[in-house]
Amino acid sequence: MRHGVIMAGGSGTRLWPLSTRKRPKQLLRLIGGKSLLEIAVGRLRGLIDPSRIFVCTSSVYAREALDELAMLPEKQLLGEPVGRDTANAVAFTAAILFRLDPDAVLAVLTADHIIEPTDEFQRCLSLGFQTVEKSPEFLVTFGIVPTHPATGYGYIRNGGPLPGLAPACRVAAFREKPSAATAAEYLASGQYCWNSGMFVWKAASILEQLRLHLPESYHGVMRIAHAWDTPHYRRVLQEVYPALPKISIDYAVMEKAPHVAMIPMPVRWLDVGNWESFSATVAPDKHGHRVVGCDLATIDSGDVLAVSRTEHLFAVIGVRGITLIHTPAATLVCASGKAQDVKRMVELLSDKYGEKYT
């Protein structure tokens, strides 16, 4: 049967101070009053039965995730005791779903993106399911058709069509985040897509590849899955999971597996990873200001992003290109073009104040 797994374990430090250890970005109701997690689950409506949608997230904020998704029973939330990168999140969910359904085909999806239109996303996802159901040895990934030479994304090189599996194509190579010049070459060649980090595969197939290429994780998650629905589950999870080798699924499996396919996905794909990308989700006024949850008054100013979690006024004079984020605990003032440095600020604050503000 078809299943959906939403990966929602990231910390989202670049959206500090709204995003914190206790309430990360995927749980913030920033997009039209909805959280990114709620939006990600909503994209599956009508495609996958809610009883077969699972969320993998940190056990630290599992309760908050359940509160965001009233339709999701607790048994469909898989809590990681610690983050061990994507290979182990994939292995963990695949092992549990294999235990529940040995014929499970699962879509592994992200919880920190805006993807539009939904019907095109669902069309491509259906093609992914069909490809795996026809050729279950294949691991299918989705390549976002690029619109500009982005340097913040990984890339996938199209290796040509797969006979009998169109529109799926071979994956020739995975490429790391490129320089500006290399990204421009990728775009001009027409042979590359952005690496979406979304997949469809049969649980049995990805587990076999993990057994071959990451045996320590494979044996660990199978031990966890064996304890599923027993009184020993949480003890085994706490004992095994933190010791698994920390590595991404691309490095661990996708770059090594013999049968990897890509389906191009021509959608608007916005990684809401920092305040600069978040601003693209908010319509600007005539001065370029973007305002969420607060009031803004300006004199001789432009291109201001102002966000507050509580009723608040920002008064700005003579400033252009600035981000202002307010919470009861902290205020961020950040010049345009410096959004990537918010993560450095969080590291500095953690060193100086511990977890008081982060």
Note the pLDDT of residue 89: 96
Phi-psi region at 12: left, alpha or beta (left = phi > 0; alpha = psi -120 to 50): left
Phi-psi region at 89: left, alpha or beta (left = phi > 0; alpha = psi -120 to 50): alpha
Question: Average pLDDT in the 301-328 region?
Answer: 96
Write the pLDDT tens digit of every residue in 105-151: 999 999 989 999 999 999 999 999 999 999 999 999 999 999 999 99
In the chain, domain spans: 2-271, 275-353
Note the pLDDT of residue 10: 76
Compute φ and ψ for 331, nearest 5 degrees: -130, 130
Note the pLDDT of residue 63: 85
Q: Is 190 helix (H, G, I), strand (E, B) or coil?
A: coil
Write the pLDDT tens digit of every residue in 15-29: 999 999 888 889 988
**pLDDT at position 156 over 80:** yes
Which fold is adopted by the domain 2-271?
Spore Coat Polysaccharide Biosynthesis Protein SpsA; Chain A (3.90.550)
pTM assigned to the model: 0.90
**pLDDT at position 78 over 90:** yes
Q: For residue 8, list its beta bridge partners.
A: 57
For residue 147, how many other CB atoms are within 10 A of its CB?
11
Note the pLDDT of residue 263: 98
Residues in the chain: 358
